[in-house]
Structure 1
Amino acid sequence: KKFNPDLAARPMLVAGNKCDLTDDAHIEEFRKFVEGQGYLFFPIMAPIREGVEPLLNQISEELSKLPPIRRYEPEPAPLAKPEEIPRGEVKITRQDGVFMVEAPWLLRVMQSVNFDDYESLQYFQRVLLETGVIDQLRKAGIQEGDTVSIYDVQFDFVE
């Protein structure tokens, strides 16, 4: 209920597996407990598929009654506009032909970027342009095709 009240409101079924390892009295006691909680109970023995068919039929019936699927995903954190990002010093060094960029504020930006997502990557490129990091790389002598390393992310510089 704390995670998602809509999800908690959906019908739930309980499958009691390994019912062959106990007696009928225990199964009935557990059935009463489960049904007392408002759930449907299905005693099954999965390895020999006993009781599985009624469970699957009930699952199918319950699914047919549900509204269309909704994705339960957290809302993405809003990205700060490049002009709103607090800036600070940017340190650029060159090690073995790689331009190393360090800036604590840039590390915070990178933690909000999904580098596998095209739009998020475009956002990161805009941040580098609008905060002057690209200009500083140019002043440091970067050329087309040189490697840039910003913490754990590396890429080839392209004009």
Structure 2
Amino acid sequence: MMATSQSTGTKNIVIGLLFLAGFMAYGFVLIYLRDFAPGKEQWIADYAVGKHFESRLAHVHGNLFALINIAVGLVLARFELPEATGHRISWLGIAALLMPLGILSEVLFSVPPVLVIVGGISMVACMAWLGIAIWREIGPKGA
């Protein structure tokens, strides 16, 4: 059984950090739209509904999923999992980033929510599989 290489976790860390930076910048766009843009009064009035609400959902989920990817990368770099398992968990974490991108695609381009569903399922599968894999690695003695 080959152990997970450190580069598997590194990929999630790097992509997570870049994604985090992108969605943090998107947060500044949302602040601009709320506080400084022409028509900000309408933006504020519609803040809790429709595209405005979904825009904030994309921002929150983008940052959350970026941080989760960083955590996945650190865990994969720390524990020796079978190589195939580590790679699949890694890619599931990265595929989960489709969720916030899918929310933005809905808002900006009226794309159906397929990416949101695929990303959400990927994140749940990633977390469950990683939890089980780590449990098997450390066993009841380490828990």
Kindly indicate which of the two structures has a greater share of residues assigned to strand.
1
Give the structure, 1 or 2, with the largest relative contact order (CA under 8 Å, sep 6 or more): 2
The structure whose Rg is larger is 1
Kindly indicate which of the two structures has a greater share of residues assigned to helix.
2
The bucket for the TM-score relative to the shorter chain is under 0.3
TM-score of the pair, normalised by structure 1: 0.25
